[in-house]
Structure 1
Amino acid sequence: MTWRDARRASDAELVSMIRRDGIDVLVELSGHSLGHRQTALAARAAPVQVSTLGYPATTGNPAVDVRLVDERSDPEGSDAWCTEKLVRLDRCAWCFTAPPGGVAAAVARPDASAPIRFGSFNNLAKTTPAVLDVWAAVLARVPGSTLTLKNGAFVDEEIRERVGEELVGRGVARARLRLLAPTEDAAGHLEAYHDVDIALDTFPYAGTTTTCEALWMGVPVVTLAGELHAGRVGVSLLGAVGLDGLVAEDRGGYVEIAASLAADGERLASLRATLRERMERSVLMDRTSFCASLHAAYAAMVEARAAGGRG
């Protein structure tokens, strides 16, 4: 394996570097995120160019041949929204690795009759007014329940207060809200899930790492299936661990699923006790099958390109 530090390379230098190395399949993980190199890709740096993981939409770049997805994240018909050819892996398109540090999963609540604690640790940019509407409706359906929100933006007290006011304006008592700034380390971040019973996903831009971390910590996640990839990652992740029943098809269904799960103490306790093992045994953490599926997809792309196709 050879590592190249290309951070300071110009597009022309990067393209030359890739071509000198004789790369057959170039995989980019940034899409249009900060630091992306779409202009280098536009110069056709490699015979087959692939986008995956780091950006939840089409690049819109005709020189990017393929996006790696799966049948849950991008069902039939999704191709119409992409400039790339969609290659659907025969398993979940994501593979989760246990975080370092050995943080224990959340244990069963000592008092099963205590109020339900909902939570979301997603990026605040994903928390739209529509999301707040639905979360307020969930709290209204589950008397006494609380909502913990934790994200990087909450280092700013004014932002915390603004979000709190938004929820109060939707009928949620301020005492039912916990708005947390980031923790100092990854272990502290995961330990914060010990105080959450049910995680609420955002929409139409769903969580990815956040969803995996919640599940790893024994916290089930309720998600809303969107029309596009960004809103369907939770569909794929929950399907991979056998929790399709926590996927809602509309906002009313989202509220109903969250409220029903909150009322089922036995199921909540079972999920809390078994979710980590369920993940470990699932395709979501099966690195061997992930690599095999990925390598087969890459080989098929090279073969297609050699035959005059796109990849």
Structure 2
Amino acid sequence: MHVESVTETRTTSGRSGCRLQVQFLSDDLPEGALIWRTTVLKAIDDQNRNLVPEPQPDAQSRPPILRRLDTAPRAELELRSASRRAAAIKLVEGTAEFFLPDRGPAGIVRLPAAEVKEGVRLEHPLLVKLGIELTPVTREKATARGLLGRMSSDLGLGSPTADEAARLQAVSDEVARRRMLRESAVPELGREARAQKRAATPAPAPEKPEPAKADAQGTAAATQPTPASPAKRDSFSFQFADPNRKLITVEWQDAEGHLIPARSTWNYESTRRLEYQKPIPEDAQLVIFVAAEGAVLMLPFRAENVVLP
């Protein structure tokens, strides 16, 4: 392991720490390997202060973003702040886990866009085998859950209770339902009121469009986006349950298997959101990477006498 840079932050807000940007170099690491996660097992400075960070259950549960690089895999190691008298980190060691996409489809689940529907759990034998539950949800539900979680955390209340989560879900479901009805071509709310208004208003004489204009209108109507079609959206939110920590990450790929880069990603506890520059193509596929047997390689890492800034 090669340490590329070291940064240290000291504040009174509890966000102090030391960060190491590292590069993994090993003959045992196959070409195309993607860094999944790292675990620091031992870290001390030259004053023998323990720098191993406190475990973060929330962060441990989130699926990370796999880093695709042409060079050797890189990662950031987060440590506690070193002693003010320390000049170097005497030792840092641990393990790094890599996902190996080139070793066959053992750890890859591919689902066509048509099977990705909001509120419907994704079904695949490998997900069931590994105990992974992954459900697409509306942006409103994901955002509301994230806000409640952050508020609870900031107030020191811990994770939302089952009752709070249930009430939150009811509210977010209603918001999502109203949004869908507003965007839907056949709304359910206010149908009678609109029907009465139409009955009381004389209908204007229909215009006869020119042939070329009529064709254009027909084409436009046929290509109008349908909210129920996930392939016509540019934002996707997923809620997941992964008690065995087997979920690596999720992403969209085009029909040829090439990654569709996300404009941004958003994580909080058991929710991930992916934002894209434009709607996902209809022939795209959702790709789920999982830690199935044979798809993950664990290697130890070690660095000594890392000079502090």
TM-score, reference length from structure 1:
0.29
- Report the structure, 1 or 2, having the larger helix content: 1
Q: Which has the higher contact order (CA 8 A, sep 6+)?
A: 2
- Report the structure, 1 or 2, having the larger strand content: 2
Question: Which has the higher Rg, Structure 1 or Structure 2?
Answer: 2
